[in-house]
Copies of this chain bind each other. A is one copy, B any other.
């Protein structure tokens, strides 16, 4: 039942940032994370951004481009395969991460059709979630 890909062991700052994101109930900006971690000795934005870069590389964290904010991956193993989409509630700020295979495949076909070598996709849906409607 354990994840079949072994992420590297997280370094101190990476772990701290990851923990903050996992505990958060909404996406956090890098500076919000910094504020939370001042007590643990963080002093500068770069400490956060460097940790975030690594965590994103590991697939443990995603950036929401339309919010300039970050969320922990909710797919226990989001390795290699990208998330398909995020649904972002404008009311309660909740975010849910979808792993829709058909969407991914549709986007892949779209790109193929234009001879576009697809590297990375950003799909962010804004609206109101079930609870807030």
Contacts and interface: CB of A to CB of B under 8 A. Distances in A.
A122 interface: yes
A130 interface: yes
Interface string A57-84: 0000000011000000000000000000
Interface of A: 65-66, 85, 87, 89-90, 96, 98, 100, 102-103, 106-107, 110-111, 114-130, 133
Total copies of the chain: 2
A117 B128 contact: yes
Nearest to A118: B127
A122 B66 contact: yes
A117 to B, nearest CB: 4
Given A115-B130, A117-B127, 11 more contacts: A87-B110, A87-B111, A87-B114, A89-B116, A90-B119, A100-B110, A107-B125, A116-B128, A116-B129, A117-B133, A123-B123
